[in-house]
Amino acid sequence: MDMRRARTQALVLVGALLLVVGCSTSGSPSVSGGTGHLEVHLTDSPIDLSNVTSVDVTITDVLVYGAAEGMNDDGSSPIVLSTHPETFNLLSLTGGATDLLASGEVPAGFYQRIRLVISKATLTYTDATTVDLKIESGKVDVPIGFQVSTGADMSMVLDFDAAASVQVNEASPDKFILRPVVTPKKL
């Protein structure tokens, strides 16, 4: 009887240890330990405006959102890659040219989107006339699933499509609106 009881107690102890170890890990495949380096580059598809020399967009923030529990909605804390304004001439980023938008160390894991916060946009004609673009939305979310591995470098390119983003204001044909169209570029 003592042998059976000792065996039962040992099995209960092993089961309890397995339960404790199983409950102590997050169980989320999207979160892992360590960090990786993330670089986000910007490019532009060619625009068909022969009388325009530049489309300048000032991006103040670049944020990445993870897919881990508690990070799926706007109420979550994003990872901040950049919080300083930088202006990009989208027309200089055509024909395969890119510019570094933001970079930094991020926790290793799976991410589901990148948010760009845009504070200003202007269009410059060949005669040097500059027009401020009305920004329809100060932020644009780019749905893009990507994995950052521990100790690894991850690089991606976002295509800020100036041709699709700059639109004529229907109420005032002499004014333009910026409705950002940004998509991940396939490498």
Terminal CA-CA length for the chain: 69
| Predicted pLDDT at 130 | 92
DSSP secondary structure string, 90-119?
GGGG-TT--EEEEEEEEEEEEEEEEEEEEE
Considering 64-73, 76-85, 111-120, the range whose residues carry the highest mean pLDDT is 111-120
pLDDT tens per residue across span 107-145: 999 999 999 999 999 989 899 999 899 898 889 999 999
CB under 8 Å to 2, separation ≥6 — which residues?
A: none
- For residue 137, the one-letter residue type is S
pLDDT tens per residue across span 48-59: 667 889 999 999
Domain chopping of the chain, boundaries: 31-184
C-alpha distance from residue 16 to each of 10, 20, 22 (Å): 10, 6, 10
CATH of domain 31-184: 2.60.40
Q: pTM (2 decimals)?
A: 0.73
